[in-house]
Amino acid sequence: MDETVLTEDGVRLWAVRGGAGAPVVFCHGGPGLWDTLEDVAALLTDGATVHRWDQRGCGRSERRGPYAMARSVADLDALRRHFGLARMALLGHSWGAQLALQYALEHPDRVSELVYVSGTGIDQDSTWHAAYKQNLRANLGAHVGRWEALKGRGERSDAEDREYSVLQWSADFSDRERAIEHAERMATPWLGVNFECNAAINAEGKRTWGTTALRAACEGLGVPTLIVDGAEDIRPRRAVDSLEQALPRVSRKVLQGAGHLPWVEAPDDFRTAVGGFLADRL
């Protein structure tokens, strides 16, 4: 059953929960996207109560800012309070992995475990972004011309936004023959990307990520953490090495034959890795 979480500044957030067991809260990717982690929930709900939500301004949540990391952390805590959770495991994907990590750094007493899926680490994105762009274009292959045309268009229709997103997301899959099919599934139903949110939070990250203070905070984080990577993610996995080195209680699992959404292309291995990690502690 869908639920509405009300933040302290009056923004309505969409949320849903399912399963039985200790609480796990998901943080979807983006920024500016919506929850596409229903398949992940299906892999884990036998042993956990999974809570999913659309972040502020995204998907089924109210489209209102402000958009910032601090605001996102506060919204995540509003979700925790809404569901009456004293402590929770957090699973974050891509940008959501960054959000989950930041929440754990600020509220370690409220986080039992952290699952960091396909994140991009704690260094400045200048250390890996050029390789990502090269890999993106390589995976787009014959679609790169159309993608570039849509990317450079000043204003796009809603249908063009969807086409642009499907093409870009298709590059995130290892299986090139099914890449468009997987991306189309992500885009259905189409809830519209919040590009304002995306730009604001990404700009903030460029200013605040990669600091010695962030690394020091990670070195002091006592929350047990599992890092999960798809071996063929087009974001170089070396970007996450410094986070792995900084965290004192960390394990890491690299799933072969999988890209940026490893549960899609390696579901059994993903279930084994994440489900086992959580089961050992929940």
Considering the domain 2-131+193-279 in this protein, what is its CATH number?
3.40.50.1820
Tell me: the pLDDT tens digits for 236-270?
Answer: 999 999 999 999 999 999 999 999 999 999 999 99
Using 70 as the pLDDT threshold, list the residues of the chain that sit under it: 281-282
Residue for token digits 């399963």? 19
Instruction: Kindly compute the dihedral angle of the four CA atoms of residues 239, 147, 143, 57, in this order, to the nearest 10 degrees.
Output: 60
Whether the model pTM is above 0.95: yes
pLDDT tens for 218-244 read 999 999 999 999 999 999 999 999 999
Position 60 scores a pLDDT of 98
| Domain extents in the chain | 2-131+193-279
User: What is the predicted pLDDT for the residue at 154?
Assistant: 83
Q: What is the pLDDT of residue 281?
A: 59
Provide the terminal-to-terminal Cα distance of the chain, rounded to the nearest Å.
24
Residue 23 carries which side chain, given as an amino acid letter? P
Q: Phi-psi bin for 10: left (phi > 0), alpha (psi -120 to 50), beta?
A: left
Q: Are 281 and 224 in contact (CB under 8 A)?
A: yes
